[in-house]
Amino acid sequence: MKLVRFGAAGQEKPGVVDADGKIRDVSAIVPDFSGEHLSDASLDKLRKADLASLPVAPADSRLGPVVGRVGNFLCIGLNYVDHAHESNLPIPSEPIIFNKSPSSITGPNDKVYIPIGSEKTDWEVEIAVVIGKDAYNVSEESALNYVAGYTICNDVSERAWQIERGGQWTKGKSAPSFGPIGPWLVTRDEISDPQNLDMWLDVNGARVQTGNTSTMIFTIAHIVSYLSKFMKLEAGDVITTGTPPGVGMGMKPPRYLKAGDTVRLGIAGLGEQQQSVVATNG
């Protein structure tokens, strides 16, 4: 299934994309896609539902973030060999973990706001996973059973704040609008191999990132298992798993986002996002 949340910011309703591409309002079955409502049992109720009998969302509905009330927004850095090389950083021997603030999360086509004082706002196309049930100390072999589904994240990053302000990556990753996720949460049964998905990102119509999840240093299963050794992952947590090469920081000379730019990105089977870049006022 392709799960969506639609409607005005803060007032999103849960929906499922039907066979004709229409969004069906499933709020009569599940109140939201968050927490326990992402469990296998909850998703099975949706699979058995007669979608044709449910209301169709307005055609012009805004798409919101695919999951609500996110507790942890966890990230993996330098998880593609070529991206580590372009960043002039060593290949990690274990996953590099950092956080994005959940307050950075926005819809897939919402605007990206350049923060006041930002000099180096950058883009990163990534595959993200949403946890479907609590996971603590789980094996790599069973790890994907704890995943509700997969989605796209643009891990927008302010590089000066990330790298030049004392080494705390979270500072450069957490501004409002720095975490577009969506358009869909594609349930794990629909993605036979999350480690073989093409991914891309364009800035102003020019392709800057091209990659495939097969070139990850640490697989999604490894990441979920690894994180669960150190913390209990909870239903609704989001984990974004790193980006392939082609970020602005790695260009010669470096190139960063400015007001008026358009970013478009996609991953095979997971849809596309598009954001307009604007300056923050005040």
Pair (45, 87) in one structural domain = no
Q: Which residues contact 155 (CB under 8 A, 6 or more apart)?
A: 75, 100, 124, 126, 173, 178, 179, 240, 243
Q: Cα separation of 60 and 54, whole Å?
A: 18
The answer to whether 244 touches 210, Cβ cutoff 8 Å, is yes
If asked whether residues 212 and 262 sit together in one domain, one would say yes
Q: Please indicate, yes or no, if residue 65 is contained in any of the structural domains.
A: no
* Cα(105)–Cα(154) distance, integer angstroms: 10
pLDDT tens figures, 130-188: 999 999 999 999 999 999 999 999 999 999 999 999 878 999 999 999 999 999 999 99
CB 130 within 8 A of CB 220: no
pLDDT of the residue at 145: 98
Check whether residue 26 and residue 146 sit in a common domain: no
Q: Is residue 172 part of a domain?
A: yes
Model confidence band, residue 282 (pLDDT cutoffs 50, 70, 90): low
Q: Are residues 124 and 216 in the same domain?
A: yes
State pLDDT tens for residues 74-90. 999 999 987 787 777 78
In angstroms, what is the C-alpha Rg of the chain? 18
Domain of residue 245, CATH code: 3.90.850.10
Question: How many domains is the chain partitioned into structurally?
Answer: 2
Residues 224 and 94 both lie in one domain: yes
- Specify whether 83 is located in the same domain as 183: yes
Question: What pLDDT is recorded for position 216?
Answer: 96
Q: Is the residue at 86 inside a domain?
A: yes
Rounded CA-CA distance 147/133 in Å is 7
- How much is the pLDDT for 195? 98
61 occurs within a structural domain: no
Tell me the residue range of the domain where 175 lies: 73-279
In terms of domains, do 160 and 42 share one? no
143 is a domain residue: yes
| Mean pLDDT value across the chain | 96
37 and 108 co-located in one domain: no
91: pLDDT strictly greater than 90 = no
Same domain, 39 and 81: no
Residues 175 and 83 in one domain: yes
Residue 264 lies in a domain: yes
Instruction: Please indicate, yes or no, whether residues 227 and 118 belong to a single structural domain of this protein.
Output: yes
272: tokens are 């596309």
Tell me if 123 is assigned to some domain: yes
The Cα 121–Cα 118 span in angstroms is 7
Domain-located, residue 165:
yes
Whether 97 and 197 map to the same domain: the answer is yes
Cα 149 → chain centroid? 11
